[in-house]
Structure formats: structure tokens, C-alpha cells
């Protein structure tokens, strides 16, 4: 837990049970993707980056899918089911068995991908350093419509919802962000007093602030000047807007570290990507997931890379797709290459035009230059794979391995029918169908012997001419 919080135990409750009707999607709102990460990823990571490790997520609509995601990506996070979605106050009510063990509880929405960890740090620190029962984040906006207004006078502070605001109060530009931190004993004594006498029949968390205000307890607002950081996502348009803002933030960060982009507007980098040093990204590059790229690497246009480790000084030529694989230093890939499923490309290796590498290892200095499929194979060092080579790895029931030793030369249009092995320094003749192992240093020829029929063309022409006369 971060040092600024070490006098108190702070839990984070993320509210992610809503249906998100305006999103018009079968996918739960908090799983809608922003740079190929779900919306929920961002508040979870913001809390963690702020030093708040004790996190729980309230789930409801589409909860099975949300729980599956949390279990896979953040198994340490507590999942709390809200089977009946009766509002934000109800979500906090049904979670009290979890949060009442902390001295303070921070409540944040699950659909706020632009929320920064610095905001959470400032909010928690301000709360801990004050006697307030509740501290919430507010911000200044030129378009306050739809938000609860923050009303300040000389002695008190309150939140007035827009439906209850006077015309004068509606002019207030300081609004409630929906992010609160409560002293747990004060929240515990008020959370069950919420009423649902409203059109929706729901229990609203801001009403707790009103109860505390009526009891004379201290409520404070920490006002921020950038409302963009609190922007929620409730529609496809807002999803696109948040993606655009976050994309630019990430690009600005990496370019400040030395990454070069000829056209930043066309480049997409996910939040888990890690770049090191002087990297060049051509237009229309996309980098997502848990991807790492080393110093001096060049990524060509229209390349898509996910969950991949790329070493130093690698040349990725245009139109390359690499998924869940590893590329070692000084390798050259592309154009029009597809590398996937835990493939490993060795140092200085070359994978060229219209080549697919699947679940295979290509040794250092080896070349698969063009028009080949290599699947479930292990290829040694300094091997040359001729054009049109295919590892025939699937027999209709199982995937079978191919092993090629060091310094081998595989002739063009060779079919390697797995399981099969080629020993070190062996050759295959072009057009061969290799079904048996090839010993070290041997030449394998597996094709029909060529037969030349002398005079065949002239005889054929003569036959056709006679047939024509008839």
C-alpha cells in the first residue's frame, strides 16, 4: 500500500453492475474495449497504480463474463454480485461485509477509463488529512447539465441534483464526479438509511452525502480543473471519444521517451505495451496487449502486434501480423508475414513474404523467405527454407511435429509430412514429398523420375491436323 496511505487501510469498491442500455450491445458495458482492454481494466489499474491494492468489483448485468475476465486478469480482486441492480447506493449496501473491515472506502465507477491514479492519490490523501466523513471529487465544466451541482457556502457544502436545483444553482459549474471516499464507521451508520422513493425506485449513493450533511458531519469536495479525467462511457460515441483521448495520452508518453511516429494520429498503442528506446513506428501500426519492443526496432505500416516480445534492432516490414510470439534481436520480418501461437524467431532470422509461422521455432540466422507455411516445427540455426515449403502437420486427428536440424537446405516446394525429422546439414530436393526421416548430411529426393518423350509435340500436332481434315 502506498506510503501516503500507511496510517489507514483504504479499500476500493468499483461499481460495474450496470447494463449500459445506451451502448446497444450484448457485451456488458464494462467489457467494451478501449485499445483492446475492457473499460473495467482502467479503474482497476488506476487504483493499483495509486497504491490501493485492496480492490473489489460489484458486478451484475453480464456478470458471468465480467467475473471470468476478473478471474483471468486480476484474480486477487474480490467479486461481489449485485443480482438486483437497484442503484449505486444499493451496490454499496450489499458490499458492506467486504468494506467494513477498512478504515476508509473509496468508491469509483467502472466505466471511467480516463481516470488517473494521481487523482485517486490526491483525493485519498486530502481525505486522510482532514476530519471529513466523506470527501468526493468534483470538477469544473462549461457544460454542467446532467451533473449534481456542488453548492458551497461559508459554513457548509452539499450536492444538489439537477432535478432539485434552482435556476441559480443550475448555473454552478462545479459538479460531482461520482467518486467518493468515506470513513467507514460514518458510511456504515448511514448506508442502510437510504430511501428509494424516486421514479426509478433505486438507492442513490449521493443521498448518503445528504444524510451526513443533515447530521452536521463534515463533507468536503476536492475540486479538479480537468473534467476530461472523469469522463464516463455510456454510448458508442463516448466509447470512441474516450479511445481517442487515451490513445493520444499513451502516444504522448512514449514519444516523450524517444519513440518516433511519422503520423501519430494513425498509430494505436495499448496501455500494457512497453517500448524501450529509439523505436520507429510507421503509419497505421497497432500494438496491443502485453507487448514489449526493444531499442532500435522499426515497425512498418499496417502491422498489428499483440502480446509479443520483440527484441532490439528488429525490422518489421509492412503488413505483418504477430500474435503471442517472440522475435529476437536483429531479425527481419515481412512484408505480409503472419506469426502466431507462441512462435519463436531467433536472432538474425528472416521470415519473408507471405509466410505463416505457427507454434514453431526458427533458429538464429535461418531464413524462411517466401510463400511457406511452418507449423508445429523446430528449425535449427542457419537453415534455408525454399519457397513454397509446407510442414504438413495435421493428419486429420492430431498436430504432428517437424524437426529440422542446423545448416539444412530445404528445396523449394518441399512437403514435409509430419512427424518427420531432417538431420543436421541435410538437403531436400525441390518438389519432394518427405515422409521419412532424413539422415545427417544426406540429400533426400522424393518425387517421380522425369521422363522425356522425344517428338511428342510434333506427333500431337500431326494428329490434330489429320483430325481437322476429316
397 strand-pairing partners: none
Residue whose C-alpha cell reads 500500500 in the numeric block = 1
Mention every residue, 6+ apart, whose C-beta is less than 8 A from residue 232.
109, 111, 112, 178, 238
33 strand-pairing partners: 38
Taking the C-alpha atoms of residue 429 and residue 434, their distance in angstroms, rounded to an integer, is: 10
Phi and psi of 349, rounded to 5°? -75, 165
Mention every residue, 6+ apart, whose C-beta is less than 8 A from residue 312.
277, 294, 295, 296, 297, 329, 330
**Longest distance between any two alpha carbons in the chain, whole Å:** 116
Give the three-state DSSP class for 35.
Answer: coil
What H or E segment, with its residue span, contains residue 353?
strand 350-353
Taking the C-alpha atoms of residue 90 and residue 249, their distance in angstroms, rounded to an integer, is: 35
Contact between 408 and 426 under an 8 Å Cβ cutoff? The reply is yes
Looking only at the bridges linking them, the beta strands covering 377-379 and 402-404 are parallel
**DSSP string covering 152-209, please?**
E-SS-EEEE-GGG--TTGGG--EEEEEEEEEEHHHHHTTGGG----STT----THHHH
Q: Which residues are catalytic?
A: 370
Please tell me what DSSP assigns to residue 222. Answer: E
Contact between 300 and 283 under an 8 Å Cβ cutoff? The reply is no
Taking the C-alpha atoms of residue 88 and residue 102, their distance in angstroms, rounded to an integer, is: 19
Contact between 104 and 124 under an 8 Å Cβ cutoff? The reply is yes
Contact between 310 and 328 under an 8 Å Cβ cutoff? The reply is no
State the helix-helix crossing angle for 41-49 and 117-128, rounded to 10 degrees.
Answer: 50
Mention every residue, 6+ apart, whose C-beta is less than 8 A from residue 400.
376, 393, 394, 418, 419
Amino acid at each position: 500500500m502506498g506510503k501516503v496511505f500507511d496510517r489507514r487501510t483504504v479499500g476500493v469498491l468499483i461499481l460495474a453492475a450496470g447494463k449500459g442500455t445506451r451502448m446497444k450491445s450484448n457485451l456488458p458495458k464494462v467489457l467494451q474495449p478501449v485499445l483492446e482492454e475492457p473499460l473495467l481494466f482502467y479503474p482497476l489499474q488506476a487504483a493499483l497504480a495509486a497504491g490501493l491494492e485492496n480492490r473489489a468489483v460489484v458486478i451484475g448485468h453480464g456478470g458471468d463474463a465480467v467475473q471470468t475476465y476478473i478471474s483471468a486478469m486480476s484474480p486477487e480482486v474480490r467479486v461481489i454480485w449485485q443480482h438486483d441492480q437497484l442503484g449505486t447506493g444499493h451496490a454499496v449496501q450489499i458490499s458492506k461485509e467486504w468494506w467494513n473491515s477498512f478504515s476508509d472506502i473509496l468508491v469509483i465507477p467502472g466505466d471511467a477509463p480516463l481516470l488517473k491514479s494521481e487523482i485517486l492519490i490526491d483525493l485519498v490523501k486530502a481525505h486522510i488529512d482532514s476530519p471529513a466523513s466523506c470527501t468526493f471529487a468534483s470538477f469544473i465544466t462549461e457544460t454542467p447539465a446532467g451533473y449534481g451541482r456542488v453548492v458551497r457556502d461559508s459554513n457548509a457544502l452539499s450536492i444538489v441534483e439537477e432535478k432539485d436545483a434552482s435556476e441559480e444553482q443550475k448555473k454552478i459549474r462545479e459538479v460531482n464526479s461520482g467518486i467518493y471516499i468515506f470513513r467507514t464507521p460514518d458510511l456504515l451508520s448511514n448506508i442502510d438509511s437510504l430511501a428509494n422513493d424516486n421514479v426509478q425506485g433505486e438507492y442513490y449513493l449521493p443521498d448518503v452525502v445528504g444524510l451526513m450533511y443533515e447530521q452536521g458531519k463534515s463533507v468536503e469536495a476536492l475540486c479538479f480543473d480537468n473534467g476530461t479525467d472523469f469522463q464516463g462511457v455510456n454510448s458508442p460515441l463516448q466509447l470512441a471519444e474516450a479511445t481517442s483521448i487515451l490513445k493520444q495520452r499513451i502516444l504522448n508518453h512514449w514519444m516523450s521517451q524517444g519513440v518516433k511516429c511519422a503520423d501519430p494520429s494513425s498509430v494505436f498503442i495499448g496501455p500494457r505495451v512497453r517500448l524501450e528506446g529509439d523505436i520507429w513506428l510507421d503509419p497505421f501500426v497497432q500494438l496491443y496487449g502485453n507487448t514489449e519492443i526493444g531499442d532500435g526496432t522499426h515497425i512498418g505500416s499496417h502491422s498489428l502486434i499483440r502480446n509479443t516480445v520483440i527484441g532490439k534492432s528488429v525490422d518489421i516490414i509492412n503488413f505483418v501480423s504477430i500474435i503471442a510470439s517472440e522475435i529476437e534481436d536483429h531479425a527481419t520480418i515481412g512484408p505480409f508475414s503472419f506469426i502466431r501461437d507462441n512462435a519463436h524467431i531467433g536472432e538474425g532470422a528472416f521470415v519473408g513474404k507471405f509466410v505463416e509461422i505457427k507454434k514453431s521455432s526458427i533458429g538464429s540466422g535461418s531464413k524462411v523467405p517466401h510463400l511457406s507455411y511452418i507449423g508445429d516445427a523446430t528449425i535449427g540455426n542457419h537453415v534455408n527454407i525454399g519457397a513454397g515449403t509446407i510442414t504438413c502437420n495435421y493428419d486429420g486427428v492430431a498436430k504432428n511435429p517437424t524437426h529440422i536440424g542446423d545448416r539444412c537446405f530445404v528445396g523449394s516446394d518441399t512437403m514435409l509430412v509430419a512427424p518427420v525429422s531432417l538431420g543436421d546439414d541435410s538437403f531436400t530436393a525441390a518438389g519432394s514429398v518427405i515422409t521419412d526421416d532424413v539422415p545427417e548430411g544426406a540429400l533426400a529426393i522424393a518425387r517421380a523420375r522425369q521422363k522425356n518423350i522425344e517428338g511428342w509435340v510434333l506427333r500431337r500436332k500431326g494428329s490434330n491436323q489429320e483430325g481437322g481434315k476429316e
